[in-house]
Amino acid sequence: MNAIISADELASDLAGQHPPVLLDVRWQLSAAKAAGEPPFDGRAAYASGHIPGAVYIDLDAELAGTAGDRGRHPLPDLEVFGAAMRRAGVTAGRPVVAYDGGQGWAAARAWWLLRWTGHPDVRVLDGGLAAWEGALQTSVPTPAEGDFEPVPGATGLLDADAAAALARTGVLLDARAGERYRGEVEPIDRVGGHIPGAVSAPTHENVGSDGRFLPAEQLAGRFKALGAAGGSQVGVYCGSGVSGAHEVLALAVAGIEADLYVGSWSEWSSDPTRPVAVGPDPR
């Protein structure tokens, strides 16, 4: 099953007999606070207009735990996450589609969490709300309570030690911007640089100018050039486990399974005893 769905396909599915559950996960990490501007308000954006039937999901409160030593967006409490999914009407037997404003990062975080906790049929709207040409609604739907019970997967998740080991024995991709990987700038975390052995693979290079994913064959070629092919174990990290989920999604589109280090650089760099590499070379 494809991990993404086009706006046309979604419109057709919503008009069918078995429409998917829709999750609106609009969120963005921005420099608004540093610029003295109010932060992005996903709930207000949802209230101003959303795809009919979509339920708003708060990434910071429902798809992540409290920021701290485990990173800025650690795994959520599964009871909180499960309750949010059931409130949205998520059941194990009904497809789910997540979307955000167009960047794809937040929707991918919801997609990854649902997959990791056992949902069999979840996709991301390719291009997000920006790709949707249908009507929007402002009223808040009240779907029937879902029955989804999240069960953590045996695979798919990396901790700091596993990420470090994978950088030595497999392929660990760093989904952040190249300048953060190289340690030239670090606008958020304690120090810049990367996990020794990790390969720079900015997730923004997986999409075109319209925010939609590149064709699967093109993505597969990109990842092969980065070493992610031929049966190698692949892992991904980013700043806090959000854009990294987007890279895991891109890998899935290319037909490559990958694990996510959710704590990512925000966890790794918070511990001064962990090694940090700088510059363009992995080590």
Other beta carbons within 10 Å of 275 = 11
Place of tokens 């997986």: 206
Contact 166, 235 (CB under 8 A): yes
Other beta carbons within 10 Å of 277 = 17
Contact 70, 263 (CB under 8 A): yes
Give per-residue burial for 5-22: e unless 16+ CB within 10 Å, then b.
Answer: bebeebeebbeeeebbbb
Helix (H) or strand (E) holding 248: helix 243-253
Residue closest to 99 by CA, chosen among 136, 147, 153, 150: 136
**Catalytically annotated residue among 51, 173, 207, 238:** 238
Residue 238 annotated in active site? yes
Take residue 110 and report the two structure tokens written for it.
Answer: 């919801």
Which of the residues are catalytic?
238
